[in-house]
Structure 1
Amino acid sequence: MVIVRATRKLLQRLGPVTAVEEQESTSLLGDWYATVLPWRPRQVALMVSQTTLLPVLMPLAPAATLLDRFPEHLAAVLRAHQVPETVVQQEAAETADHTLATTASRSLTGSMNEFAYLAEAHRAADRDPALLALSLKLATVPCGPLYARHVSPDRELTALLQNVT
């Protein structure tokens, strides 16, 4: 089970909060923070792992099925990072069961805003970038909250997997 912590703008599209206060994510990558990138012609959802700050970009539409489609997009990003297939399958299964909550970390929301800004800059350079390729590019960006550990989300993911496998 995973808790998706959505911004107010995204909650307006996804529906009411369903998480109970005592609930905790059981997935390796922890809670996921999510927001909307209001790009034209297609809007995009940005999901960021609380544990590793790993970003996942995916089409927003249709918003009603966003969380149901998330496991397949997460699996594609994890495979692109050469994560072992057993871990990919486990994370996809964990994220298939989800609850919705509000954001709880201003630091993580700030990191998500930085990813949104960088994604927009990359999008301006390449009018229609592939969302998977853009997710991989963003994963290499140094992040302040990770400086004391492994600096970037891709390195943080690698270190996490070394501790697990």
Structure 2
Amino acid sequence: MLRFYCTKKLLDRIGERPATEVSGISGKNLSNWYTTILFLKPQIALLVNECTLLPLLMPLAPEKTLATRFPAHLAEILSLHGWRPDRIESELRQLDGHQFLKTANRSVLGIMNEFAFSAEVYKHHHRSDDTQRIALALAEIVFKPIQYQSPSQLLAVIEAHGSNLH
């Protein structure tokens, strides 16, 4: 089950009422995503994986289709991080269905805020609207809460070993 833990401003924009409780079985490492809006031009959805802290950027519009467009964007970013196609397909198969929830993990929210700031700085400094390029740069930022040096390095471990970190 794919879970989007959304900020209030995003829930209001997509017109979804958050579920009151988590339903379904969790996938492996890439099933829980913290999601917000970046008010850049064009507006972007910033998604941060709860387990790996992997940042993913995708166009916000059309807001109502965010959940259905997400798997294709996830496949693209995993491919850019060097994942094999069979491994990507395996991960995506586990993300059957989706659910919108309110944010719950304050640590991930703080990291999401850091990514939002860094994305804006990168976009302006490099004069780039390439969301994949920005996301790859964000994935190299080192955070203390994870065992590995960056989300990018943690993804490499998961892909290589097929490990479930939960």
- Whether the TM-score (by the shorter chain) exceeds 0.5 is yes
Q: Give how far 1:159 is off.
A: 1.8
Secondary structure at the aligned position of 2:148 is classed as coil
Q: Give how far 1:28 is off.
A: 2.8
CA distance in 2, matches of 1:6, 1:13: 11
Amino acid paired to 1:59: P
Q: Mark the CA change 1:8 to 1:45 in structure 2 (over 3 Å): closer, same or farther.
A: same
Corresponding position of 1:30? 31
Query: Does residue 45 in structure 1 map to residue 45 in structure 2?
Result: yes
Structure number with higher relative contact order (C-alpha < 8 Å, ≥ 6 residues apart): 2
TM-score, normalised via structure 2 length: 0.90
133, 151, 158: which is aligned to 2:156? 158
Amino acid paired to 2:31: G
Q: Give how far 1:27 is off.
A: 3.5
Q: Give how far 1:19 is off.
A: 6.0
Give every structure 1 segment of 4 or more consecutive aligned residues whose post-TM-superposition deviation is greater than 6 Å. none
Contact 2:29 2:52 in 1 (8 A): no
Corresponding position of 2:143? 143
Q: Give how far 1:137 is off.
A: 0.7
RMSD of aligned alpha carbons:
1.7
Amino acid paired to 2:157: A
Contact 2:27 2:95 in 1 (8 A): no
TM-score, normalised via structure 1 length: 0.90
1:84-163 to 2 correspondences below 5 Å: 84-95=84-95, 97-146=97-146, 149-163=147-161
Secondary structure at the aligned position of 2:77 is classed as helix
Secondary structure at the aligned position of 2:152 is classed as helix
CA distance in 2, matches of 1:96, 1:22: 12
Q: Give how far 1:32 is off.
A: 0.7
Secondary structure at the aligned position of 2:100 is classed as strand
Secondary structure at the aligned position of 2:29 is classed as coil
Corresponding position of 2:22? 21
Q: Which runs of 5+ in 2 are unaligned?
A: none
Percent of aligned pairs sharing the same letter:
36
Q: Which runs of 5+ in 1 are unaligned?
A: none
